[in-house]
Structure 1
Amino acid sequence: MKIFPIKKSIASLIIISILSCSSVKTATVSGKVLAIQKGKDGYTATIENSKGRIYYGTISIPNLKNLQLFKQAETGDTITVKGELWKMGKEKQITVREILELKHKNITEAKITGTVQSVEKGKDDYTAKIKTTEGTIYFAVISIPNLGSAEKYREFKIGEKVTLFGEIWKMGNDNRITVKKNLD
């Protein structure tokens, strides 16, 4: 029986697909973020582990197991991710399913007191623009996972005076606080 060229091509594609899928494995990668390449639904982080190996971690909202776990890394941060490890040429890639830990390079914990200027709702959280008594503007990210439980979560209203405790960091020129406690 003769096999036509199209059938040979399809058979070859199926065999290649099966072989390439078998080389994908789940792994955990930890290291320093050397670079960030922004994408449509997330970003790619270039991660260097303690042995000097480079991994390219695709971190996107659709790929994560839990959308609430999406976190934006910055150059210089340390990160631990879990997902499918694979190669593209000689480059080691990881499709991130979970961000296990993210430590920002310049994070300090602090308490701020101010007045809510605006509230922008997200899918699983919200960001409140807070103007402190000193006149500094902070964008406060408020979510159940960061607070630790649903009982601690509440939505602020514009004009409300609040005292918050959390991790202070920068995104571009904006001051941010990832709220860990509402002290009111």
Structure 2
Amino acid sequence: MKLFPLKKSILSLIILSILSCSSVKTATVNGKVSAIQKGKDGYTATIENTKGRIYFGTISIPNLSNPQLFKQAEIGDTITVKGEVWKMEKEKQITVREILELKQKNSAEAKITGIVQSVEKGKDGYTAKIKTTEGSIYFAVISIPNLGSTNKYRQFEMGENVTLFGEIWKMGDDNRITVRKILD
């Protein structure tokens, strides 16, 4: 007759999981990044919204709905993220599933020209490693959403010469460009 305590503990576990899941909701958070804590597969951004509320956003490649759209935020950037909001003690947390917008404080637009070194396919496009005529390496994120339409999208091959225009940013030590226009 030791089955009764086992059934009772399983029932308690089910009720506890239902209650804990009900406190999680999906939300969009927008604000300025005031701190960054590096992690194994990403980082935690401290995001302060316009009302002074603070959220700790866990932004990691495995948690994103599209890992190809991972972006590294820096202190001072403005970010809009979507995901599950929950509390840990009195701190508001958000497990980020999507980075809707990242306005970098030092975001610069530029044109680069170079040769495609490699291509890594993604969900909505690909990332091309470009060696510029000056010898710099850029990882160019080329996707239909970033270009605005399928008419502007083009697949590049290794060894091809390219000229691209977009926002320049850093991910770690790597130079990145979110391509907005393919110029040739």
TM-score range, shorter chain: 0.7 to 0.9
Q: Which runs of 5+ in 2 are unaligned?
A: none
Q: Establish whether residue 38 from structure 1 lines up as the match of residue 54 from structure 2.
A: no
Deviations 1:143-162 (A, max 9, x none): 22211222222222333222
How far has the Cα of 1:69 moved from its partner? 6.7
How far has the Cα of 1:167 moved from its partner? 0.4
Instruction: Name the residue aligned to 1:126.
Output: 126
Deviations 1:39-83 (A, max 9, x none): 34x543332223333222233455444x27732222222211122
TM-score (norm 2): 0.81
What CA distance in whole angstroms lies between the structure 1 residues aligned with 2:14 and 2:129? 53
What CA distance in whole angstroms lies between the structure 2 residues aligned with 1:160 and 1:107? 27
Q: Is the 8 A contact 2:131 2:138 kept in 1?
A: yes
Q: Establish whether residue 8 from structure 1 lines up as the match of residue 40 from structure 2.
A: no
What CA distance in whole angstroms lies between the structure 2 residues aligned with 1:25 and 1:90? 16
Q: Is the 8 A contact 2:114 2:133 kept in 1?
A: yes
How far has the Cα of 1:180 moved from its partner? 0.7
What CA distance in whole angstroms lies between the structure 2 residues aligned with 1:134 and 1:3? 73
Identity of aligned residues (%): 73
What CA distance in whole angstroms lies between the structure 2 residues aligned with 1:147 and 1:72? 17
Cα distance, 1:115–1:97 mapped onto 2, change above 3 Å: closer
Deviates more, 1:135-144 or 1:54-63: 54-63
Q: Establish whether residue 140 from structure 1 lines up as the match of residue 140 from structure 2.
A: yes
Cα distance, 1:86–1:115 mapped onto 2, change above 3 Å: same
For residue 19 of structure 2, what is the amino acid of its counterpart? L
Q: How many residues align?
A: 180
SS at match of 2:102: strand
Instruction: Name the residue aligned to 2:163.
Output: 163
SS at match of 1:73: coil
SS at match of 1:18: helix
1:164-179 to 2 correspondence within 5 Å? 164-179=164-179
TM-score (norm 1): 0.81
Deviations 1:89-137 (A, max 9, x none): 2221222233221112221111122233x11313323222323333333
What CA distance in whole angstroms lies between the structure 1 residues aligned with 2:157 and 2:68? 25
What CA distance in whole angstroms lies between the structure 2 residues aligned with 1:92 and 1:49? 12
Q: Establish whether residue 75 from structure 1 lines up as the match of residue 70 from structure 2.
A: no
Q: Which runs of 5+ in 1 are unaligned?
A: none
How far has the Cα of 1:10 moved from its partner? 2.4
SS at match of 2:74: coil
What CA distance in whole angstroms lies between the structure 1 residues aligned with 2:51 and 2:17? 31
